[in-house]
C-alpha cells in the first residue's frame, strides 16, 4: 500500500518536472539516499522546508521497508525505492536524478557504495555523514552501534561525527566537517549513539547549506 503511494507521487513529480525544470529551475535540489530510519533525512527536509534557494526534492532508498519512506511521504516528499540490480546495472537511478535536476546527493544512513555513473555526473556534489571521527572507524560494515562498540573497545577518549565527500570507497572521501565530544567512563554504544544523533541533527543540515552556498558562489 505504501509503495503504491510512493510510486504515484514519484511519477506525478517526474511528469511535471520534465518540461518545467529546464525553463524555471533556480532552486538547488537535493536528493537524499537513506537505508533505514531516516531521522537525519527528516531533519534535513524540515530545515529546508521554507528555504527559497534549496529544497529536498526526492528521497531514495534501497530498502522498501525503511522507515525513511514513511517519513518522506508524511512530509510530502516523493520517495523512490530501487534494488541492487537497478542501482548497479542500469542507468535508471542516474537518469531519474538527472531528469528532475538534482544538484546535490546527500547520503544519510545509506549503506551501499555509490556507483560510478553517479560519482561521474555529480563530482564533489555527493556527501555522506558518518557517526565517528574518520579516517578511524569507517569502511564496509562500520555502521550503527558497531561503530560505537569499536570506538569503546579501542579505548578512544573521544568520538564524534564526520561529514565528507563521497568517492568509490566506503567513508574515504575528503573530510568537510567534524564535531568531537569526549567519551565518559559510563558511556555505552547506546548512549554514544544518542549523542551522535543529536550532533548530526544539529550540524548536518547547516553544513549542507554552507556547502551549497560555497559551491554555488564559486
Ligand atoms: C547516522 O548515525 C549516520 O551517521 C549514519 O547512519 C545513521 C543514520 O541514522 N551514516 P538515521 O537513519 O538518520 O536516524
State pLDDT tens for residues 106-133.
999 999 999 999 999 999 999 999 999 9
Nearest protein CA to atom 2 of ligand 1, as residue = 131
Scanning the structure block, which residue is given the C-alpha cell 548512549? 191
Query: CA-CA distance, 177 to 161, in Å (whole number)?
Result: 8
Fold exhibited by the domain 129-218: Rossmann fold (3.40.50)
Question: Is the CB of residue 160 below 6 angstroms from any atom belonging to ligand 1?
Answer: no
74-100: pLDDT as tens digits: 999 999 999 999 999 999 999 999 999
Share of the chain above pLDDT 90, in %: 86
pLDDT (0 to 100) of residue 3: 43
Asked whether the beta carbons of 54 and 212 are under 8 A apart, the reply is yes
Cβ 200 under 6 angstroms from ligand 1: yes
Q: Which CATH superfamily is domain 1-123 in?
A: Formyl transferase, N-terminal domain (3.40.50.170)
Locate CATH 3.40.50.170 in the chain.
Answer: 1-123, 129-218
How far are the Cα atoms of 84, 98, 100, 102, 191 from residue 95, in angstroms, in the given order?
16, 5, 9, 10, 41
Spatial CB neighbours of 40, under 8 Å, sequence gap ≥ 6: 34, 108, 109, 129, 197, 200, 201, 204
Catalytic residues: 130
Amino acid at each position: 500500500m505504501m509503495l503504491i503511494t510512493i510510486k504515484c507521487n514519484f511519477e506525478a513529480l517526474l511528469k511535471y518536472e520534465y518540461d518545467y525544470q529546464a525553463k524555471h529551475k533556480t532552486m538547488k535540489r537535493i536528493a537524499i539516499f537513506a537505508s533505514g530510519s531516516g531521522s537525519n533525512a527528516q531533519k534535513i527536509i524540515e530545515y529546508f522546508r521554507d528555504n527559497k534557494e534549496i529544497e529536498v526534492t526526492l528521497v531514495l532508498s534501497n530498502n522498501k521497508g525503511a522507515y525513511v519512506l514513511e517519513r518522506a511521504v508524511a512530509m510530502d516528499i516523493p520517495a523512490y525505492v530501487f534494488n541492487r540490480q537497478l542501482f548497479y546495472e542500469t542507468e535508471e537511478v542516474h537518469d531519474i536524478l538527472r531528469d528532475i535536476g538534482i544538484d546535490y546527493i546527500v547520503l544519510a544512513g545509506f549503506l551501499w557504495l555509490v556507483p560510478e555513473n553517479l560519482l561521474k555526473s555529480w563530482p564533489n556534489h555527493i556527501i555522506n555523514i558518518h557517526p565517528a571521527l574518520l579516517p578511524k572507524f569507517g569502511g564496509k560494515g562500520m555502521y550503527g552501534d558497531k561503530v560505537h562498540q569499536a570506538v569503546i573497545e579501542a579505548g578512544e577518549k573521544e568520538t564524534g561525527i564526520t561529514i565528507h565527500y563521497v568517492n568509490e570507497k566506503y567513508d574515504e572521501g575528503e573530510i568537510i566537517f567534524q564535531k568531537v565530544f569526549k567519551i565518559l567512563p559510563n558511556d555505552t554504544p547506546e548512549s554514544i549513539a544518542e549523542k551522535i544523533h543529536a550532533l548530526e541533527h544539529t550540524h548536518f543540515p547547516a553544513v549542507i547549506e554552507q556547502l551549497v552556498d560555497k559551491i554555488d558562489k564559486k
